[in-house]
Amino acid sequence: MTEILSGIDPMMAWLIVGAVLMLLELIVPGVYLFWLGVAAIAVGGLLSFLPLSFIIQILLFAIFSVIALIIGVKVYKGKDRDIETHHLNQIRGAEYIGHTYTLTADITNNAGRLPLGDSIWNIQGENLPAGTQIRITKVVGNALHYERVK
């Protein structure tokens, strides 16, 4: 490894490694390679001011990597909080409101299950036998409420 890098200025080597890691982030998603690239560029930037031994460079890269990854976790932590995923069932269930379906199994104790699309939904309403036509009226929590089609 040192033979390959012996002809390259250490500062440029770290900058190239950092750029390659950041470019790899575009191909291999996961956000970690980006922060390792930041750490490599930081070591390269530090080498422009201070001559450091190879061991010190590796130690600094390890330290900067940990710091950069911690910063990265803090930056990306909570990014999905803007998306109200706790309302996802209501949003998906709202698509079924007003539609008519045929029960595939008996409804007992005012609750049952109904396959719709790629999901199996909990349904609530009056006790009915399989084969009965129902209409979805509302979504409450993770259950679709229905009424019998007359």
Q: Read off the pLDDT of residues 108-122 as tens digits, 9 standing for 90 and up.
A: 999 999 998 888 899
| Nearest Cα residue to 106 out of 135, 126, 125, 130 | 130
The amino acid sitting at 135 is R
* pLDDT computed for residue 40 by the predictor: 96
Domain 85-148: CATH architecture, name and number where available: Beta Barrel (2.40)
Domain with CATH 2.40.50.140 in the chain: 85-148
Element (H, E) at 4: helix 2-5
pLDDT greater at residue 4 or residue 44: 44
Lowest mean pLDDT among 30-34, 56-60, 71-75, 88-92: 88-92
pLDDT of residue 86: 57
Which helix (H) or strand (E) segment holds residue 129: the answer is none
**Strand pairing class (133-140; 119-124):** unpaired
